[in-house]
Structure 1
Amino acid sequence: MGYVQWSYDTLNQFCTDVFKAFGFEEEESREIKDVLLTADLYGIESHGMQRMVRYHKGIEKGTIHPQSKPEIVFETPVSAVIDGHNGMGQLISIFAMNKAIDKAKKTGIGMVSVRESNHFGIAGYYAKMACSQGLIGMACTNSEAIMVPTFGKKAMLGSNPIAVAMPADPYPFFFDCSTTVVTRGKLEMYNKMDKPLPEGWALDKNGHASTDAPDVLANIVAKKGGGIMPLGGNEEVSGSHKGYGYGMLCEIFSSILSMGVTSDHCCTFPDKTGICHGFIAIDPSVFGDPEAIRKHFSDYLEALRESPKAEGKDRIYTHGEKEIFAEKERREQGIPVNDNTMVELADLCGYLKIDFHKYFKDYKLPENSRFFTGNY
């Protein structure tokens, strides 16, 4: 299986039409697809188009409720708790971050914790919402348990990503990463490519290192044990306890403060996932002149980029640079989509009675793929 390039405009129209077919309004569909395609433009394939099948399954199973609207259930001038009522994670999260931004503009800081939501895509999307308005943005989430805590053999935390974005020149600081070595989506991509996992990523149901993507994924789904290692692997000597601790920080700001479902219970219900999120927006002006702070930070980022390079290396990147370059290239040359993801999209079109070839003209489906269900 390989990849095929599609223009941003093609994927943009396709995604919007798919979510409209699921019953979302035009603006809601636009917001959902924007989160997904931003991931693909940035080169974060695990959270882009290939996530469509997850949302399809969630809506079909009834764990995602397309008609639900988020509700503020607790609020102060600087904080809020939102119940998402099991709606689409992207829509709930945009609503929540906008609330945090509004509070930050009025008081200097806004903090929002969300319960009863769903998978929300890349955390960085929401951090950049604040950054684009001159604020410091932070976002995190819990998820279905896939992280095995240090010295454990059962997944108890999610991938629990943290994202931070802050204005700077010539481009903003943008940091977004899971607190596991990799995300579940990365395992899904290796599974689609039929490749063994790199050493140091995953554990089998007995807590032993594993490179078998299908087995690790099956154990996660069936709650049989094993999963993905925290950042730092599975031993303290390599810093495992740090990744485990970072994952706990996400849990605090998402499920604990919102009184929501913790990762070990996420996705164990018949009619919801229970996933929770956390969002923070901070106005730099509460610390002084925001323009002076921006210049100070920009100068430091430039110093990092210009600092001495390791042997054989000619460049040091600051966080967010690669995403800027990837977006420019993919808008010009197209976004690569895995052939197995294309099969999933065809199945999705069959389910929704959408003409697959209206968007993907002349593309021949590889019907021998193990991902093909024959729904199209």
Structure 2
Amino acid sequence: MSTHFFTYDELKVFCEAAFHRFGFSEQDSAVITDVLLLADLYGIDSHGTNRIVMYHDQIRAGYIDINAKPRIVSETPVSAVVDGMSGMGQLVSEFAMKKAISLAKSSGIGLVTVRNSNHYGIAGYYSLMACNEGFLGISMTNSLAAVVPTFGRAPMLGTNPFAFSFPAAPQPFHFDASTSVVTVGKAEVASKLGKALPVGWGINSEGHDELNPAELLKGIYAGVAGLHPLGGGTEEHGGHKGYGFSMVVEILCSIMSGGNTSNHVESEEGKSGVCHFFAAIDPKIFGDPSAIQKNLETFLDELRHSPKADGKNRIYTHGEKEAEAYTRRLADGIPVNERTIVEMKDLAGYLKMDFHSYFPDLKK
């Protein structure tokens, strides 16, 4: 399957215009687009432009209320609970992390849990919001059940990603990962590219490894198949640890907020109830922020220069690959596969947008 490279500006203008046509304000459209395109720039293709049609489908299905405004339902000097009111996940989450940052500026720490939201994009976008203020940032979310518990074959947990960002030079320590072997988006991308899945990604309704991404996705959405937790489907390779990490995310997001657990995220009434958790922590509550950051930078440098495994010439620290992809893709363009381009073109037609005016280099 062919791939075309678009410039950041081309995709930015198209996505902002599309979200504006969905009914969002120009400001909100810019926020949503910023989250998607950071994923594309970081090389997380499963959560970037690839998702725009999914959001449109969720709006049409009634899961996302484009007019919703999140509200704080309870608050202390260090915490808050936010009701997303079925709003767009990126907008609800920006609101919630800004609240966490505000609390951290006044109290040293801000913890915010969210209920009744929607898919929010990459978790790391929001942890970086806190990091850019000089704070430790944490971001988590549950999602539609797509992951089986250890020794199970029915999806009960979301991919439940966790992101942790901390200021450092030349780039922050930035860890962003699902608590499943892979995300649903990775299976979607494999399906679009016509690629078989590796053994160990997911399990079918009969309890066996599923290598066909389309069949795995079909089973996930039917609630009879799922991805494995991080570590795989056995205790021998630590699958029970990924299962436990996923539960930690679930407790902080859905249980603490009084919201829906992953297996009840999409209700029979056609409502979505994704839940999130955000934290911003000012390092000065532990000591001199400059000294703490320097200590981290020293350790990161020691990690990079520690002995390499046979045949390997580099040890990465978390955030380096994303930073390098960001620079490379800004210069060389963002790859978008042919299937996603067709989806974008069809969406543009539905929205009465002139697709080729946004991407003049594409052949008509």
Deviations 1:81-130 (A, max 9, x none): 00001010000000000000010111111000000000000000000000
Extract structure 1 runs of 4+ deviating beyond 3 A. 268-271
What residue is the counterpart of 1:283 in the other structure?
282
What are the equivalent positions in structure 2 for 1:169-180 lying under 5 Å apart? 169-180=169-180
- List per-residue Cα deviations over 1:111-170 (Å, max 9, x = no partner): 000000000000000000000010000000000001100011100000000000000111
SS in 2 for 1:56: helix
Provide, for residues 200-221 of structure 1, a one-character-per-residue CA deviation record: whole Å limited to 9, x for no partner. 1010012211101111101111
Distance of 2:289 and 2:58 partners within structure 1: 42
Q: Percent identity?
A: 55
Contact 1:263 1:275 in 2 (8 A): yes
* TM-score, L = length of structure 1: 0.96
SS at match of 2:179: coil
In the aligned structure 1, how far is the partner of 2:270 from the partner of 2:155? 22
TM-score by length of 2: 0.99
1: CA distance, partners of 2:222 / 2:154:
12
C-alpha separation in 2, matches of 1:37 and 1:304: 30
Aligned length, in residue pairs: 364
Which residue does the alignment assign to 1:202? 202
1:232 paired residue number: 231
Residue 188 of structure 1 aligns with which residue? 188
Letter in 2 for 1:317: Y
Which deviates the most, 204-213 or 178-187? 204-213
1:268 is displaced (CA, Å) by: 3.3
The residue identity in structure 1 corresponding to 2:5 is Q
Cα distance in 2 for residues equivalent to 1:272 and 1:43: 31
Is 1:321 matched with 2:332? Answer: no
* Aligned position for 2:104: 104
Cα distance, 1:345 vs. partner?
0.4
**What is the SS of the residue equivalent to 1:72?**
strand
Match of 1:227, as an amino acid?
A: G
* Partner residue in 2 for 1:346: 345
Secondary structure, counterpart of 2:165 in structure 1: strand
Cα distance in 1 for residues equivalent to 2:116 and 2:177: 22
Counterpart secondary structure, 1:257 = helix
Separation in 2 of the partners of 1:54 and 1:15? 13
Q: Which residue of 2 is the match for residue 83 of structure 1?
A: 83
The 1-side partners of 2:269 and 2:67 are apart by: 18
Counterpart of 2:212 in structure 1 is: 212
What is the RMSD of the two structures over their aligned residues, measured on CA atoms? 0.9
Q: Quick one: distance in 1 between partners of 2:248 and 2:46? A: 23
CA-to-partner distance for each residue in 1:264-316, whole Å, 9 max, x for gaps?
A: 11123443211100001100000000000000011000000010111111110
Residue 257 of structure 2: SS of its match in structure 1? coil
Residue of structure 2 in register with 1:373 after alignment: none
Matched with 2:242 is: 243
Secondary structure class of the residue paired with 2:236: helix
* Paired letter, 1:181: V
Compute the displacement of 1:322 (Å): 0.5
- Provide the rounded CA distance (Å) in 1 between the counterparts of 2:201 and 2:315: 25
Could you say which residue in structure 1 is the equivalent of 2:124? 124
Q: CA deviation at 1:362?
A: 4.4
Task: Give secondary structure in 1 for the equivalent of 2:187.
Answer: helix
Give the corresponding residue for 2:253.
Answer: 254
